[in-house]
Structure 1
Amino acid sequence: MDIGLLSFYIRRRISQSKPLRYTLWIITALLSLIFINKVFRGGNVTVPSGDSSYQGISSSNRDLTNEEINTLIAGGNLLQKHELPKFRLAMPYLNNEVDEQNYEFTGDVLIRNDQYVRLTSLKKHQKSSFFSNSQVDLQSFVMEWNFALSGNGEVSSLHGDGMAVLFSEYKLDQGEMFGVNEYYKGFGIYVDTYRNGRSGIFPYVLASRNDGTQRYDNDNDGKANEISGCIARSLWNPSSGVVKARLVYIEDGYVSLDFDYKNEGVWTNCFTLQEVYLPEKFHVGFSAQTGDLSEIVDIFEARIYSLKDHDGNPVTEFQKLVDVMNDPSSPDKFEDVTEEYQLDDHTKRRRVVSQKKDGKQMRRTLKRLINAEKRIKKEAEQRRVERRAKRSEWWNSVKKWFYFMIAAVVCYMATIVYRVQKKNNIRRSKNQGLIV
């Protein structure tokens, strides 16, 4: 439609209708007030500055660190920990019929029977992966795996692209996200070793969820997909030749990842999240990819353990840890000790007896665990507030542009009204002059 004709039509209708002119003036005034109110008052959600629960939350000696919590869970004392053999990957790989049935290997995988499963080598443009043939069907579990990222040069040199550990409803075909299809349903841990557009230090480990529709933000190294993450420089060329990792998952949404970088039993937490839910059933998989640059990605071992209380019931919530520690009769309150006893006047013997642990220490640990639970919940709430703030900020920007466009249209209409009104005034003055 011709804008000039439309403008002429609007001016003509306005000049012929006094009520329409008044209506437009009223609308202009109202929209201007709304626009000024929205722009200058804003409305962004901000993190409260006066609430200590949102101020740089960190663990202290009053609560357990995330690593200590995971050690309590995965240590096998507080809870029962049972391995599921159908998800085991261990040496010797080719001689172990169970392992060969446990996983399906695709792509450029290289298997050395008593050494490693190599996903990528020092070659360009490789893709490989392996996924469990069975689905994990556990309410809560611990997964432990040993791996290594290595290659030429220091950690600051160029190499890539990285690897992924995936918990997907279905096995994934080859693709461009660390060697597999980026459209999956589930949870993923990405170890990115090549910087594309994102600033920061690499390798970088990030956690991500996908509902099957989200693309991987490769140009920004997964920034748009990231829930949480950590810098992990010590993953590159580990001093002991291997890095241990453990993922703890509890059905009520507790997910936590630790690394033992030097294979010395010293764990470092990468991320701990609340309200992150894995699929009810999923395949576990490993994948890796190289591009114009290359690196070696080796997987040495992988195991999955179920978590149950000492009555054999599945652990479904974090609170269960507190309940077990509060139970004075639970097996974790006792320990085996060796004592001497007198068999007769000339003979002494040793025996192993069960003895209750130091109650003071147990109470102290329980208190720290309760404080840690509160801290983790506050951290989860802080992340929710920050996500809402980001969404609100984006939405407010959209609204401001919308109101600006409305204001521009209204101003244009007001200009037309003014011009028509001025034209009518001139016409009336001329008519009056003729009458005189």
Structure 2
Amino acid sequence: MGAIDTFKRSRVVQLGVIATTLFVLFFFFRSSPDYYSPEDLNSLLQNKDESTVKVKKIELKEQGLHKPFLESGSYHIKNWDIAGNVIIKSNELIRLVSDNQHHAGSIFNQVPIKDESFEMELTFHIHSKNSKNLVADGLAIWFLDQKSEIGDVFGAKNYFNGMGIFIDTYKNGKKGNFPYVNVMLGDGKTAYNKDTDGFETRLAGCSARNLLNPKSGMTKARIVYTKYGYFSLDFKYTSGPEGWINCVTAMDVKLPEKKYLGFSAETGDLSHNVDILENKIYALYKPDGVPIGSLQELERLMQEQSEIKEEEKREGGRHRVFKKKPSKQQRRSLRRLKNSEKRIKERERKLREEKYGDPDYHLGLWILDWILHFLKMIVYIVAISALLWLGRIFYRTYTSKRKSKVTGLLD
């Protein structure tokens, strides 16, 4: 009775009990978001949640990097070309650049990725003993239509055709918090501008301050790409399976049909070490062997797998297949996947509006704008030329008349 009397008399105790009850109810009954985050989507495509959807993965061993890196008795990595100031410690790391000024190094795979959908996990480490974190220039991950020689864009050549993912550790321009990750799609004609950190040609990007000198001694990058343009990039700075943070997710990305994978790095007046520790890459297929092309196909696959439940019953050696309606949880998973796609598209529209002032802006419109601008310039030049020509005629006519008058007076 004493406890009940205390509860009745003490307002503080009453408030405490109410607050505790509300907290418990919130913790146990709170609903998860009605959509998948980009990190969740990428885990689904990596086949890390077979209870929701099953994805078939085939390892692309030719594009992988595993210890020991060197072939026995040689300074050569099987299937990879090495260029520049690369140092290889076979049982430890591939150091693209050391913490020295004006170094550049790259490795490019000799065998192109022909698979249309894939996921990749790269483990790397960018670090320096500089106590003030004054470092440069960064690491690049490449998916190009041809292998690159050493150049001035993070250790590879400019005017590339394909995708460059630039992990930029030094700020040259005025925008962004660095280190910054910049994703660019090159057409072979457009240059990456170092002075602006590639802002004007940026597809998307994110700030990634934890990339430099991470406490875990490594960073993981997860890249997921599907045939019809889904592209997503996550980073993880801690050990263990959890902790992925999405950097970029886009829906209409087109990589070359044959994709040469490469890694390059560069230092300038400032420097740091850039180490590649491991690379794993897998092609993504549906269970029937067809590549997963898009989120819509993942949705259909989820639907199919939720509708069909195979139960094997030994009745004279026969196997029965029973169809059933999707469960409440499965219907919710499908709804979350649909909502995720909508959110990604809305976010892309918002980014285009912020950068270009038009949410529907795309490459076709950019080309059209450029053509219209070019035509305007031609019209202006023709108009100015015509005015100058008319002015010249007027001036010659005027001077000719004056001469005629003067000649008449003299006569």
Contact 1:133–1:283 under 8 Å retained in 2: yes
- Partner residue of 2:295? 318
Contact 2:103–2:266 under 8 Å retained in 1: yes
Answering whether residue 69 of structure 2 is matched by residue 69 of structure 1, we say no
Equivalent positions of 1:143-182 (< 5 A) are 143-153=120-130, 157-182=133-158
Equivalent positions of 1:208-227 (< 5 A) are 208-227=184-203
Measured after TM superposition, the shift of residue 138 of structure 1 is 0.1
Of residues 241, 244, 249, the one that matches 2:220 is 244
Q: Secondary structure at the match of 1:180?
A: coil
CA distance in 1: counterparts of 2:369 and 2:111, whole angstroms: 44
Measured after TM superposition, the shift of residue 290 of structure 1 is 0.7
Equivalent positions of 1:417-436 (< 5 A) are none
Measured after TM superposition, the shift of residue 81 of structure 1 is 1.4
- Partner residue of 1:305? 282
RMSD of aligned Cα (Å): 3.6
Q: Secondary structure at the match of 1:70?
A: helix
CA distance in 2: counterparts of 1:174 and 1:370, whole angstroms: 43
Of residues 233, 249, 272, the one that matches 1:257 is 233
- How has the CA–CA distance of structure 1 residues 277 and 406 changed in structure 2, closer, same or farther, with 3 Å as cutoff? closer
C-alpha offsets along residues 141-165 of structure 1, whole Å, 9 cap, x if unaligned?
Answer: 00111001111346x7421111111
- Partner residue of 1:360? 328
Contact 1:254–1:274 under 8 Å retained in 2: yes
- How has the CA–CA distance of structure 1 residues 329 and 391 changed in structure 2, closer, same or farther, with 3 Å as cutoff? closer
Q: Secondary structure at the match of 2:204?
A: strand
Q: Which has the higher contact order (CA 8 A, sep 6+)?
A: 1
Q: Secondary structure at the match of 2:338?
A: helix
Q: Secondary structure at the match of 2:334?
A: helix
Answering whether residue 295 of structure 2 is matched by residue 327 of structure 1, we say no
CA distance in 2: counterparts of 1:170 and 1:412, whole angstroms: 50
Equivalent positions of 1:357-396 (< 5 A) are 359-381=327-349, 383=352, 384-385=360-361
- How has the CA–CA distance of structure 1 residues 277 and 402 changed in structure 2, closer, same or farther, with 3 Å as cutoff? closer
Contact 2:71–2:78 under 8 Å retained in 1: no
Contact 1:324–1:330 under 8 Å retained in 2: no
Contact 1:252–1:318 under 8 Å retained in 2: no
Equivalent positions of 1:6-85 (< 5 A) are 61-76=33-48, 77=50, 78=53, 79-85=55-61
- How has the CA–CA distance of structure 1 residues 134 and 400 changed in structure 2, closer, same or farther, with 3 Å as cutoff? closer
Contact 1:119–1:287 under 8 Å retained in 2: yes
- How has the CA–CA distance of structure 1 residues 101 and 380 changed in structure 2, closer, same or farther, with 3 Å as cutoff? same
Equivalent positions of 1:271-350 (< 5 A) are 271-328=248-305
Contact 1:310–1:330 under 8 Å retained in 2: no
Measured after TM superposition, the shift of residue 225 of structure 1 is 2.3
Measured after TM superposition, the shift of residue 385 of structure 1 is 2.5
- How has the CA–CA distance of structure 1 residues 140 and 404 changed in structure 2, closer, same or farther, with 3 Å as cutoff? closer
- Partner residue of 1:135? 112
Measured after TM superposition, the shift of residue 231 of structure 1 is 0.8
- List gaps (5 residues or longer) in structure 2: 1-31, 311-323, 353-359, 399-411
- How has the CA–CA distance of structure 1 residues 330 and 208 changed in structure 2, closer, same or farther, with 3 Å as cutoff? farther
Contact 1:244–1:263 under 8 Å retained in 2: no
> What amino acid sits opposite 2:208 in the alignment?
A
> What amino acid sits opposite 2:179 in the alignment?
P
C-alpha offsets along residues 269-316 of structure 1, whole Å, 9 cap, x if unaligned?
Answer: 111112211111121010001111111101100111011112222222
CA distance in 1: counterparts of 2:342 and 2:81, whole angstroms: 41
- Partner residue of 1:183? 159
- How has the CA–CA distance of structure 1 residues 404 and 73 changed in structure 2, closer, same or farther, with 3 Å as cutoff? same
Measured after TM superposition, the shift of residue 97 of structure 1 is 9.1
> What amino acid sits opposite 1:214 in the alignment?
T
Measured after TM superposition, the shift of residue 405 of structure 1 is 7.3
- How has the CA–CA distance of structure 1 residues 401 and 284 changed in structure 2, closer, same or farther, with 3 Å as cutoff? closer
C-alpha offsets along residues 127-183 of structure 1, whole Å, 9 cap, x if unaligned?
Answer: 1110112111101000111001111346x7421111111111221111111111113
Of residues 244, 248, 251, the one that matches 1:267 is 244
- How has the CA–CA distance of structure 1 residues 182 and 311 changed in structure 2, closer, same or farther, with 3 Å as cutoff? same
- TM-score relative to the length of structure 2: 0.73
Measured after TM superposition, the shift of residue 211 of structure 1 is 2.2
Of residues 67, 92, 95, the one that matches 1:118 is 95
Measured after TM superposition, the shift of residue 407 of structure 1 is 8.0
Contact 2:165–2:184 under 8 Å retained in 1: yes
- Partner residue of 2:171? 195
CA distance in 2: counterparts of 1:376 and 1:393, whole angstroms: 26
CA distance in 1: counterparts of 2:68 and 2:331, whole angstroms: 44
The size of the alignment, in residue pairs, is 348
- How has the CA–CA distance of structure 1 residues 327 and 160 changed in structure 2, closer, same or farther, with 3 Å as cutoff? same
Measured after TM superposition, the shift of residue 258 of structure 1 is 0.6
Of residues 31, 43, 62, the one that matches 1:86 is 62
Q: Percent identity?
A: 37
